[in-house]
Amino acid sequence: MIVVVDDDASERNALAGMLRDLFPRARVIGVRMDDPTGVAERDAAMLVVTELTAVERVRHRLPASARVIALTREMGPDTLLRAEALGVAATVRAPATMRGLRAVLEPMLGRDRARDPV
């Protein structure tokens, strides 16, 4: 499962739509920032895509097994060290592109599993 965490409904829906197009067999859902735990408790294996600033707010509420992918406009050393300290599995330059999302998520999903339900 891929969970998109964002309070802005249009941003959340756009990103979820791109992920559905990229990984049509994966289950993709969008949640508001104040509700990622409800999803996390039901589904242990997942990827969470959110802005790096939001990771600081929600990471402690997610299971340790959740792989977090952070979107960030800044990809400098300080930002990448901050992401690493938060336990982020990968970063994607924002605004996210299909190419960037595929490059990061496909290896995590596994080439075969990217096409099967997650």
Domains and CATH numbers, the chain: 2-115 (3.40.50.2300)
d(CA 112, CA 77): 33
Residue 57: per-residue pLDDT: 85
pLDDT band at 48 (very low <50, low <70, confident <90, very high): confident
DSSP calls for 45-86: S-EEEEEHHHHHHHGGGS-TTPEEEEEES--SHHHHHHHHHT
CA 37 – CA 115 distance, rounded (Å): 26
Cα-flanking dihedrals φ and ψ of residue 33, to 5°?
Answer: -60, -30
Q: Has residue 45 got a pLDDT over 70?
A: no
Percent of the chain's residues with pLDDT above 90: 53
The pLDDT of residue 39 is 60
pLDDT at 31: 87
Whole-angstrom CA distances from 45 to 84, 93, 98, 111 are: 20, 24, 22, 17
- What is the per-residue pLDDT for 112? 47
CA distance 110 to 26: 11
